[in-house]
Amino acid sequence: MAKKIELSLDGVTATAVLHEQEAPKTAQKVWDALPIDETLRHVRWSGSAGYILAPALRDPSFPLENRVSYYIPLTLNLKPEHGEVAISYGPAQARDGTGNGWATHFATLEGDATAFLEAVARAQHEGKKQLVIKRKES
Amino acid sequence: MSRRIEVEVAGARNTFSLLEEWAPRVTAILWDALPLEDQVLRHGKLSGDACFLVVEHPSFTQLPERNELAVTSIYKGYMVANLHPERGSMELLISYGLGEYRWPDGRRYVTPVAEIEGDGSALYAALLRTWNEGQTKITLRRSA
């Protein structure tokens, strides 16, 4: 049975499925690092997404898996060089001041995540928020 | 001598000189529309270290349909404008660091309209705070 994680932000909770087949090393690394409690900010270059920087996930030598540049809404994407996990609620891409980059798509929100994604989007207008990610035990 | 405007964000004030040689029509139309008080200022999500406001004014229908001097970079301390004469509005952006005007599908051109004068550190800090603390208010007025 697929491992799942629970994300809590601004009083709203959502569940995501880890992609153990497509991104096995990253999914395990994230699982082992939980719980994660970090500040979520809105991205400044990448579009419609919020992100956290998790020191436990930072490893510049860690390989990319299930590689993406564009972040599809509902997806969780890791840039291991920064330990950056981006959560997309609309059109978004792994970008910085120099151009476009790559990330590992390692999990996807399931069910109706509308309220959660609205909370992510509000970070642009309301500022930073605290995000907690923990294992969802079945 | 260039016309000067005052920009106030959350108590931080700086004068900017209008770039009249680079953008004579846009700066003249902006000057005539001042003051623009208590406008909503938000941090951008695609253009890097930059905040933006969208302002409407009846005279903005007279804005040029094309950029007067097209740039994509938004240098620290510069104000640039994305022109929308068809809507009677323009989007103004101010950079506090590294900025480039971008949309989801890539770079877009804007017109530079003003450059900061003097020490902008307090204003830059106020702009950066919108990233962590959320939107705030901005006023643009003519400088004496």
| The pLDDT value given to residue B100 | 97
Q: What is the pLDDT of residue B1?
A: 67
Q: Does residue B133 carry a pLDDT above 90?
A: yes
Specify the residue for token string 């770039």: B19
Kindly report, residue by residue over B30-66, the tens digit of the pLDDT: 999 999 999 999 999 999 999 999 999 999 999 999 9
pLDDT in tens, A22-81: 999 999 999 999 999 999 999 999 999 999 999 999 999 999 999 999 999 999 999 999
Of B45, B47, B102, Cβ closest to residue A42: B45
Find the largest Cα–Cα distance for chain A. Answer: 42
Average pLDDT value for chain A: 97
How far is it, in rounded angstroms, from Cα B69 to Cα A46? 26
Question: Please, is B106 exposed, middle or buried when counting C-beta atoms within 10 Å of its C-beta (0-12, 13-18, 19+)?
Answer: exposed
- Its ipTM equals 0.89
pLDDT(A138) > 90:
no
Alpha carbon of residue B33 to chain centroid: 14
Domain boundaries, chain A: 4-136
**Chain A residue at shortest CA distance from B40:** A125
Fold of A4-136: Cyclophilin (2.40.100)
For residue B83, list its beta bridge partners. Answer: B90
Fold of domain B4-134? Cyclophilin (2.40.100)
What would the 3-class secondary structure string for A47-61 be?
A: EEEEEEECHHHCCCC
Which pTM was predicted?
Answer: 0.93
Band of residue A137 on the pLDDT scale cut at 50, 70, 90: confident
A96, amino acid identity: D
Q: Which residue matches tokens 């500040």?
A: A39
Rounded CA separation A73/B134 (Å): 22
Distance CA A130, CA A9 (A): 6
- Residues of A in CB contact (< 8 Å) with B are 41-48, 91-93, 95, 97, 124-128
For A89-128, how does the pLDDT look when each residue is reduced to its tens digit (9 = 90+)? 999 999 999 999 999 999 999 999 999 999 999 999 999 9
Task: Considering only CA atoms, give the Rg of chain B.
Answer: 14
**Residues on chain A touching B48 (C-beta within 8 angstroms):** 44-45, 97
